[in-house]
């Protein structure tokens, strides 16, 4: 317990920040937002790459470009005829 004349001097408070122009402050905010957006896009791309490497395919599956792409629904053989054009 430091009491009395042997008490160490307290540290002075730091000086207040310099007044900045609003344009400089707004410019920094825009820069921070753009950097945050870029980081978000990069993280999303890295995540998609990891998932694609894990699952073996990239992107979403499409009905046209998928494993059975463009074949449509399977129809019973008795319903196929030249008059109904396969449906």
Residues 6+ apart with CB under 8 A from 48: 58, 59
Name the residue ranges covered by the structural domains of the chain. 22-55
Give the tens place of pLDDT for each residue, 24-61: 888 999 999 999 999 999 999 999 888 878 776 655 55
Instruction: Say which residue the tokens 């001097």 belong to.
Output: 9
pLDDT of amino acid 78: 66
Say whether pLDDT at 81 is over 80.
no
pTM to 2 decimals?
Answer: 0.41
Residues 6+ apart with CB under 8 A from 85: none
């Amino acid at each position: 317990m430091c009491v009395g004349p042997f008490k160490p001097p307290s540290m002075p408070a730091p000086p207040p920040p310099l007044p900045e122009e609003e344009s400089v402050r707004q410019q920094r905010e825009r820069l921070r937002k753009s950097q945050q957006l870029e980081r978000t896009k990069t993280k999303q791309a890295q995540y998609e790459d990891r998932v694609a490497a894990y699952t073996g395919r990239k992107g979403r599956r499409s009905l046209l470009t998928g494993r059975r792409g463009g074949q449509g629904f399977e129809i019973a053989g008795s319903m196929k005829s030249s008059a109904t054009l396969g449906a």
